[in-house]
């Protein structure tokens, strides 16, 4: 934050243009989450915390509680699957409640708590990188789906963090990057991050992953998560489940990397995770840069054909070799999840 204004990378413009966008009000910040100016579990959580801090700065003294309740409702409604979002909203509200009726202190507490959430996310992801890098052997060929790197968190990332650390340790690795339809976060964002880091990689069609697994060209899969249920089931970007099933069929270890803030201990299983359904035009159209330098949408489907667009799917715990958290690598079991789940 810069005063009351939140500044963030405008991710839909990447990798062709790098732009910082200013969000002066909490409603602006909430909308940025909803339209995916920012996306990724930790980044959504950090942004939600800052949105609540902005709301505290904007709230009327005489109607502070009422205004904060409305802000919490608006921010929470932006992305229904992302657990980090709800975690951040709750933390800021608790920090405010701890100050009682002292509104000036409540405002200060909200800003401080938002910063603490962001700092915690960065520290967790750095630790995930250290733990996950121990799994990566020199010469490994890895696969990942969607984007769970620097852009998806406050710093480092989850799924890509072990790759960054392993690369900096001098290990040679190669990453197969699923394009991740319909919004192309793998092709646009993960590939861009790996390119900046100097890690060898190739973008592949989502439906090519199975081919490379069956022909023995992938040694390990690491993906991120937007919510982890108490039994170890994992919600992540649509297409993750397919990758997990094929990995299991080919004896390839499938790991999920996520900070413990992504765990929802009140969610019994993946069947209880709400799955966001987004605008059908994300499927019917393709966004990109023309040769004339114009960012535009091109229709790729028949005018009258409807589309379905679930943003996430659920991978049952039985397909997950382990959860890489900031506290270490734990099994995707109720006991494993309970051993690291946060109480706050």
Q: Could you list the active site residues?
A: 226
Closest Cα partner for 334 from 344, 320, 326?
A: 320
CA separation for the pair 226, 237 (Å, rounded)? 8
Beta strands at 254-257 and 322-325: parallel, antiparallel or unpaired: parallel
263 neighbors 234 (Cβ within 8 angstroms): no
In DSSP terms, 202 is beta-bridged to 176
Reduced to 3 states (helix: H, G, I; strand: E, B; else coil), residue 243 is helix
In DSSP terms, 178 is beta-bridged to 204
Give Cα separations from 125 to 119, 151, 192, 260 (angstroms).
10, 12, 19, 10
Burial of residue 57, with CB atoms counted within 10 A of its CB: 0-12 exposed, 13-18 middle, 19 or more buried: middle
- Who contacts 11 (Cβ-Cβ below 8 Å, separation ≥6)? 36, 37, 38, 39, 151, 189
- In 137-204, the DSSP E strands lie at 140-144, 173-178, 200-204
Q: Tokens 């946060």 label which residue?
A: 342
CA separation for the pair 180, 4 (Å, rounded)? 34
Give, rounded to a whole angstrom, the gap between the first and last alpha carbons of the chain.
Answer: 24
- Tally of CB atoms within 10 A around 106: 20
The alpha carbon of 159 is separated from its chain's Cα centroid by a whole number of angstroms, namely 10
Beta strands at 227-229 and 263-264: parallel, antiparallel or unpaired: parallel
CA separation for the pair 142, 16 (Å, rounded)? 25
Rg (CA), the chain: 20
């Amino acid at each position: 934050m810069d005063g009351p204004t939140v500044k963030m990378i405008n991710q839909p413009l990447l990798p062709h243009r790098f732009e910082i966008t200013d969000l002066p009000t909490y409603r602006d910040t909430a909308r940025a989450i909803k339209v995916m100016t920012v996306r990724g579990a930790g980044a959504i959580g950090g942004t939600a915390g800052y949105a609540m801090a902005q709301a505290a700065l904007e709230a009327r003294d005489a109607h502070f509680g009422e205004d904060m309740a409305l802000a919490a409702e608006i921010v929470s409604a932006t992305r229904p699957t992302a657990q980090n979002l709800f975690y951040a909203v709750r933390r800021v509200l608790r920090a405010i409640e701890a100050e009682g009726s002292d509104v000036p202190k409540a405002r200060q507490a909200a800003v401080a708590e938002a910063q603490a959430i962001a700092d915690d996310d960065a520290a967790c992801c750095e630790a995930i990188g250290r733990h996950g890098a121990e799994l990566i052997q020199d010469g490994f060929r890895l696969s990942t789906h969607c984007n769970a790197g620097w852009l998806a968190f406050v710093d480092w990332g989850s799924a890509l963090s072990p790759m960054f650390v392993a690369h900096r340790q001098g290990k040679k690795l190669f990453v197969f990057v699923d394009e991740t339809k319909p919004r192309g976060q793998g092709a646009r964002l993960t590939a861009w991050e790996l390119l900046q880091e100097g890690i060898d990689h190739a973008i592949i069609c989502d439906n090519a992953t199975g081919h490379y697994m069956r022909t023995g060209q992938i040694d390990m899969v690491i993906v991120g998560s937007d919510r982890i249920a108490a039994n170890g089931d994992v919600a992540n970007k649509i297409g993750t489940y397919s990758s997990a099933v094929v990995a299991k069929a080919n004896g390839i270890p499938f790991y999920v990397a996520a900070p413990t803030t992504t765990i929802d201990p009140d969610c019994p299983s993946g069947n209880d995770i709400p799955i966001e359904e987004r605008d059908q035009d994300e499927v019917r159209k393709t966004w990109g840069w023309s040769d004339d330098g114009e960012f535009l949408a091109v229709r790729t489907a028949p005018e009258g054909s409807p589309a379905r667009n679930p943003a996430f799917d659920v991978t049952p715990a039985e397909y997950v070799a382990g959860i890489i958290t900031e506290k270490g690598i734990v099994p995707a079991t109720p006991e494993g999840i309970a051993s690291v789940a946060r109480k706050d």
